[in-house]
């Protein structure tokens, strides 16, 4: 049984019990996980107007350092654009222009524009989830997320949030734990 | 009344809206863009542009100047934000050329 108290005043249920609260790519990716791992992921319904991390934390009494933001980064080298997702605690900021840019072997790195991130991930903005992203996107997980007992992340949609152990977030398919990703 | 006083007065008058613009711009940026662009944090730049705007309003330049060029220092800080920080923020948010 996982600890979902990081969701504050919300009551979570196992994520796979409520597919209506999951983005389609997220639900598909969760189903393909080891059932024992998938059972560690909880979901709770929220007001979609409160999906942005600071508002979410204030409204539901969830600690800011217990939320992880998933930002999509686009790295460009010439005509070639590569994407990566970065999972960092909401109390910290991703070092996009340093570590992420080097990891993507790009000359320039920037936040992917909102439309671009939404269209390519199939998820709603504000609810981007590291589970179920396109397979060729590396998911870079800050070491502080991996060490957290539990983190709140997006669910692919704005009207819910997921909670899962940091250690699970760090061993999902396609993830790499990066020390010093966040500052 | 010397001409250079009026030049400084004009400069001061023009600097206030520029300072206001820089502060509002900093206010409307996402906080993680500042880190991503390798700049000081958002609260730091809000403090710099906000304090500069305040100095610009309090220390009037030109003929009735109370002396001191504090407001000129504030103008420089605001211009650093506009010519250095702001373009970096735009670039790191996928704006500008090459997209």
Residue B61 has pLDDT above 80, yes or no: no
Write down the pLDDT at residue B98. Answer: 42
> Is the separation of the CB atoms in A91 and A64 below 8 Å?
yes
| Distance from C-alpha of A69 to C-alpha of A170, rounded to nearest angstrom | 14
Q: Which range among A130-139, B9-18, B34-43, B68-77 shows the weakest confidence by mean pLDDT? A: B68-77
Residue B97, pLDDT above cutoff 90 = no
Compute the average pLDDT of residues A4-24.
92
Give the pLDDT band of residue B99 (cuts 50, 70, 90).
very low
Q: Which of A76, A97, A113 sits opposite B36 (nearest CB)?
A: A97
Question: Virtual CA dihedral for A88, A133, A126, A2, nearest 10 degrees?
Answer: -60
Average pLDDT on A154-160 reads: 95
Asked if the model's pLDDT at residue A1 lies above 70, the reply is no
Within 8 A of A111 by CB-CB distance, chain B residues are 30, 32-33, 36, 92-94
Q: What is the mean pLDDT of chain B?
A: 86
A interface mutation test: which of B30, B31, B32 has the most A CBs within 10 A? B32
- Minimum mean pLDDT range among A92-106, A137-151, A159-173, B64-78: B64-78
Least confident among A12-26, A116-130, B15-29, B60-74: B60-74
Inter-chain contact B37–A97, Cβ cutoff 8 Å? Answer: yes
Biggest distance spanned by C-alpha atoms of chain A: 48
B78 pLDDT above the threshold of 90? yes
**Is B35 touching A (CB cutoff 8 A)?**
yes
Q: Which residue of A has its CA nearest to B88?
A: A110
pLDDT of residue B25: 96
Return the bridge partners of A77, or none: A80
**Tens digit of each residue's pLDDT (9 = 90 or more) over A47-63:** 999 999 999 999 999 99
3-class state of residue A172 by DSSP: coil
């Amino acid at each position: 049984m996982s600890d979902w108290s990081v969701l504050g005043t919300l009551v979570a249920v196992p994520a796979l019990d409520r597919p209506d609260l999951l983005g389609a790519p997220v639900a598909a990716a969760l189903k393909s996980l080891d059932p024992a791992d998938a059972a560690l992921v909880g979901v709770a319904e929220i007001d979609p107007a409160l999906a942005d991390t600071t508002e979410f934390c204030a409204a539901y009494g969830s600690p800011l350092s217990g939320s992880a933001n998933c930002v999509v980064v686009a790295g460009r080298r010439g005509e070639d654009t590569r994407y990566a997702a970065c999972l960092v605690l909401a109390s910290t900021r991703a070092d996009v222009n340093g570590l992420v840019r080097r990891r993507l072997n790009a000359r320039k790195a920037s936040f992917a524009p909102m439309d671009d991130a939404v269209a390519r991930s199939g998820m709603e903005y504000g609810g981007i989830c590291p589970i179920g992203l396109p397979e060729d996107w590396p998911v870079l997980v800050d070491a502080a997320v991996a060490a957290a007992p539990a983190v709140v992340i997006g669910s692919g949609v704005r009207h819910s949030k997921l909670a899962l152990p940091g250690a699970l977030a760090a061993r999902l398919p396609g993830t790499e734990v990066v020390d010093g990703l966040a500052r | 009344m010397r001409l250079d006083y009026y030049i400084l007065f004009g400069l001061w008058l023009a600097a206030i809206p520029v300072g206001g613009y820089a502060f509002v711009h900093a206010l409307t940026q996402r906080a993680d863009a500042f880190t991503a662009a390798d700049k000081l944090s958002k609260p730091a730049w809000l403090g710099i542009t906000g304090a500069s705007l305040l100095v610009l309003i309090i220390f009037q330049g030109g003929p009735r100047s109370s002396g001191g060029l504090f407001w000129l220092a504030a103008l420089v800080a605001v211009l650093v934000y506009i010519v250095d920080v702001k373009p970096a923020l735009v670039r790191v948010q996928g704006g500008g050329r090459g997209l």
